[in-house]
Chains A and B, each alone.
Chain A
Amino acid sequence: MSRHNLAMRHLRQNLAFGLFRLIMLAVLGALGGILVYVFIHGVGAISWEFLTQPPKNSMTAGGIFPAIMGTLYLTVGALLVALPLGVSAAIYLSEYATEGRALRIVRLGIQNLAGIPSVVFGLFGLALFVGYFKLGVSIAAGSLTLGLLILPTIIGASEEALRQVPGTFREASLGLGATRWQTIRKVVLPAALPGILTGSILGIGRAAGETAPIMFTAATFYTMGLPRSPLDQVMALPYHIYVLATAGTHIEQTRPLQYGTVLVLISLVLGLSLVAIIIRTRMRKTKQW
């Protein structure tokens, strides 16, 4: 290699790294830009009243308390649906099923489920849960629909987490005369839990933020108080934003409220994710299960 050649290669490397750095900055910049923009426009609307009162004067004033609670209910409901189902499916896929064509097809199906537009889930939920199971437009129907929506995410993350558990743990447990199920419950699942929680975090963000799936199955644009049962309709943050921004007669007038609601939604997602992250960190640190 000539000296010249070496210099050329260094130059090329520096160019490539410089480009990557630039792209990364652009991505970070876009994310930061959105957050800052939302914060600047929304922070003015945030007040104690905004967070704790229902809307007033055909939604041009007052707060968004019912929508905050509705989104909380729906998100937690979706996790209650998707976590048991998704983790069970992942356990089956990674611990019991034998590799082969059938399994590949199932995996492909799950991956495709993740690519289906959310409005399709909404219509499916409307037909199945609202209509066929007669749940009506309700928290229950919305949670089930959102649960299905995030199911592929949870299955994917859980399966990956289970796969990361070293085979030697399973071997050690089986070698001590544990059954497969005992091994999964006492060794494999605890070791995979942090990874499963990561999947839940992604699921939380999705479930809390989606509008289309709850539009036909759970959300209503105005309630005075809070839902009294899982069969009640609820207000929800993303749907509230959608309504204020498109359907009202005071779209311009409620702009600050819209940004305020967006800010609350983002904070709520971050807050829920933070809880999951804290649990995960604790688990990793102690490792004392």
Chain B
Amino acid sequence: MVKASASAQAPEEPRELFRVHPERPIIEVKGLNFYYGDFQALTGVNMTVKRNKVTALIGPSGCGKSTFLRLLNRMNELIPGTRVEGELLFEGVNLYDPGVDPVEVRRRVGMVFQKPNPFPKTIYNNVAYGPRLHGLREARQLDHMVERSLKSAALWDEVKDILHQSALGLSGGQQQRLCIARAIAMQPEVLLMDEPTSALDPSPPAASKSWSRNSNKAILL
């Protein structure tokens, strides 16, 4: 199942919680169990994800790839009745420790979902959504960020003239690349991608400093 990830040199401002030790894997998973209510979806998962690498996860449909990826940025806890056991270390910190803020985790661990889910906003506003959450307001910086992210996702040439039209008018594959651009614009340290459509394979752009990819599509084929 996955392809995964890689990532970052030091983030621009060192934050106390997730301190970067370049010699250590960015993600370590130890004895992970996960339950949807009574249904156990993951049993005893162990793995490490290296920095600055793309890691791929593969496996048959329904084996728990999406479930695992969603655990890495704490999306599963939005589903009532779910339960996690074991350790999921990101930069050495257990993501499920009580002191860890899921919002902070999701800003550092970006995700592209299995189904494209652009906002019903313009293309520009979709990509600018994350940076604006960070408090970026300055128009020129935003423009720059949007352009760079769309280029990284190999979508720029197709949409550069329609940035202010609704994202819902794009094709499915374009929407998926838009979601990738939207995630990249957050400059996450890890980027989880759940089966991005095969045709797109944005090469990690020189510009964006550190991001990693998780994908499983290639292998499912």
Contact = CB atoms under 8 A, between A and B. Distances in A.
Given A177-B130, A186-B129, A172 B119 contact: yes
Interface string A165-183: 0001111111111110010
Contacts of B78: 170-171, 174
20 contacts: A168-B117, A169-B117, A169-B120, A170-B78, A171-B75, A172-B113, A172-B182, A173-B119, A173-B129, A175-B183, A176-B110, A176-B186, A177-B108, A177-B133, A178-B133, A182-B133, A287-B121, A288-B125, A288-B164, A289-B125
A182 B75 CA distance: 16
Query: Which label, helix, strand, loop or mixed, suits the secondary structure of the A interface?
Result: helix
Contact of B106 (A98, A169, A175, A289): A175
Contacts of B182: 172, 176
B111 interface: yes
A287 B166 contact: yes
B168 A287 contact: yes
B117 A174 contact: no
Contact of A288 (B106, B110, B166): B166
Given A186-B129, A288-B166, A176 B183 contact: yes
A177 B188 CA distance: 10
A158 to B, nearest CB: 18
A289 B117 contact: no
A37 B110 CA distance: 64
A179 B164 CA distance: 25
Contacts of B118: 172
A257 B110 CA distance: 67
B19 interface: no
Contacts of A169: 117, 119-120
A214 interface: no
Which of B106, B119, B179 has most chain A Cβ within 10 Å? Answer: B119
B121 A177 contact: no
Given A98-B80, A172-B113, A177-B130, 19 more contacts: A168-B117, A173-B119, A173-B129, A174-B75, A175-B75, A175-B110, A175-B111, A176-B106, A177-B104, A177-B107, A178-B103, A178-B129, A179-B103, A287-B120, A287-B121, A287-B166, A287-B168, A288-B125, A288-B166
Nearest to A288: B122
Contacts of A170: 78
B135 to A, nearest CB: 11
A260 B166 CA distance: 47
B73 interface: yes
B83 interface: no
Nearest to A169: B119
A266 interface: no
B115 interface: yes
A176 B130 contact: yes
A69 interface: no
Closest 4 CB pairs of A and B: A177-B107, A168-B117, A177-B106, A172-B117
A177 B129 CA distance: 10
Contacts of A98: 80
A112 B19 CA distance: 55
B218 to A, nearest CB: 23
Nearest to B122: A288
Interface in A144-176: 168-176
Nearest to B165: A288
B50 to A, nearest CB: 23
